[in-house]
């Protein structure tokens, strides 16, 4: 019972850290990386699909992404989807190939992106703390039902706190790495 609560908390906190990694990958650092466009969806024959399922995305060089649609008739739709995304990119089309140049980041833009990174990190920490609260309330429920002793509940709360501290540390580490990456020129 104690192990189940601990494993559940560990798994859910791990998912929160993974979700943060995905969110941080979307925040651009001035370097071209195919994952930058992964969250963009495009209308592909009547259904919305992620861009990487409708086109091949590659990094041509440090500042340029190349998008090659699987279907040549999708070029205009993909170009429009990239333009209307929240990334502020202006693709250039040449035939069936779409080039997406990434402008250099200004110091002001870097500072605002660092704030976004910190906000994402804080959201992940809040999610982890909510998971801790859920696990602790489960432990207290078992205590009320007399399925666990008070010592077991204390031991369980200590274990859950250790797991929480470990995952909050991972979040802080990810945020620090991303901040350092953003502030590099």
Q: What is each CA distance from 33 to 17, 63, 67, 86, in whole angstroms? A: 21, 9, 12, 16
Fold for domain 2-26+106-183? Answer: Topoisomerase I; Chain A, domain 4 (1.10.132)
Parse the chain into domains and list their residue ranges.
Answer: 2-26+106-183, 34-101
* pLDDT of 81 higher than 90: no
As a whole number, mean pLDDT of residues 135-149 equals 91
pLDDT per position as a tens digit, 100-134: 888 777 888 788 888 889 999 999 999 999 999 99
Indicate the SS3 state at residue 75.
Answer: helix
How far, in Å, CA of 105 to CA of 108, rounded? 8
CATH fold label, 34-101 = Gyrase A; domain 2 (3.30.1360)
CA 171 to chain centre: 11
Q: Identify whether the C-beta of residue 167 lies closer than 8 Å to the C-beta of residue 14.
A: yes
Give the three-class secondary structure for 87: coil
- With a pLDDT cut of 70, the percent of the chain lying above it is 97
Q: What is the pLDDT of residue 29?
A: 67
Structure-token pair, residue 146: 């007399």
The reply to whether 34-101 shares the fold of 2-26+106-183 is no
33 vs 6, which has greater pLDDT?
6
* Residue from 11, 40, 31 nearest 128 by CA: 11
Highest mean pLDDT among 46-50, 93-97, 165-169: 165-169
Q: CB 179: neighbour CB atoms within 10 A?
A: 17
Tell me: pLDDT of 151 over 70. Answer: yes
């Amino acid at each position: 019972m104690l192990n189940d609560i601990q494993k559940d908390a560990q798994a859910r906190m791990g998912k929160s850290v993974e979700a943060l990694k995905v969110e941080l990958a979307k925040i651009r650092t001035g370097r071209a990386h195919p994952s930058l466009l992964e969250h963009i969806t495009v209308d592909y024959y009547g259904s919305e699909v992620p861009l990487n399922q409708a086109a091949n995305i590659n990094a041509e060089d440090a500042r340029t992404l190349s998008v090659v649609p699987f279907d040549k008739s999708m070029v205009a739709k993909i170009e429009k989807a990239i333009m209307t995304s929240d990334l502020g990119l202006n693709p250039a089309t040449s035939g069936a190939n779409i080039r997406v140049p990434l402008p250099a980041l200004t110091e002001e833009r870097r500072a605002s992106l660092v704030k976004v990174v910190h906000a994402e990190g804080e959201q992940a920490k809040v999610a982890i703390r909510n998971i801790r609260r859920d696990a602790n309330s489960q432990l207290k429920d078992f205590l009320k039902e007399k399925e666990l002793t008070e010592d077991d509940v204390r031991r369980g709360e200590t274990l859950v706190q250790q797991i929480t501290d470990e995952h909050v540390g991972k979040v802080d580490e990810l945020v620090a790495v991303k901040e350092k990456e953003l502030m590099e020129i």
